[in-house]
Amino acid sequence: MRIEPCSHVPAEIHAPHSLRGCEECLRTGDSWVHLRLCVHCGHVGCCDDSKNKHATKHHAATGHAVIQSLEPGEGWMWCYAHELQVG
């Protein structure tokens, strides 16, 4: 897969608010499949394979365009605005 440059990727990637899990799922006692980091503010949400899709909901609520995988061994980023894997 080709990784595209993206103007939505901020110069500084924010550190995760939590490394324990999806912020919303932790509050409600729910579970998740994979974790995604909002690189704009540090929000940690669950992926679209999770039933709650909190990372995508965070994007919809804030307009923050880029997430990064928080899975071990992964560092890819996704831009919602361009619907592309970016770097």
Instruction: Name the residue type at position 68.
Output: Q
| Residue 15 to residue 42: CA distance in whole angstroms | 5
pLDDT higher than 80, residue 15: yes
Confidence of residue 52 (pLDDT cuts 50, 70, 90): very high
Between residues 2 and 39, which one has the greater pLDDT? 39
User: In whole numbers, what is the pLDDT of the chain averaged over residues?
Assistant: 94
- pTM listed for this prediction: 0.92
Task: Please give the Cα distance from 87 to 80 (Å, whole number).
Answer: 13
pLDDT band per the 50, 70, 90 thresholds, residue 55 = very high
- CA distances to 36, 51, 56 from 85, in Å: 13, 22, 15
CA 19 to CA 31: how far, in whole Å? 14
In whole angstroms, give the CA distance from residue 87 to residue 81.
14
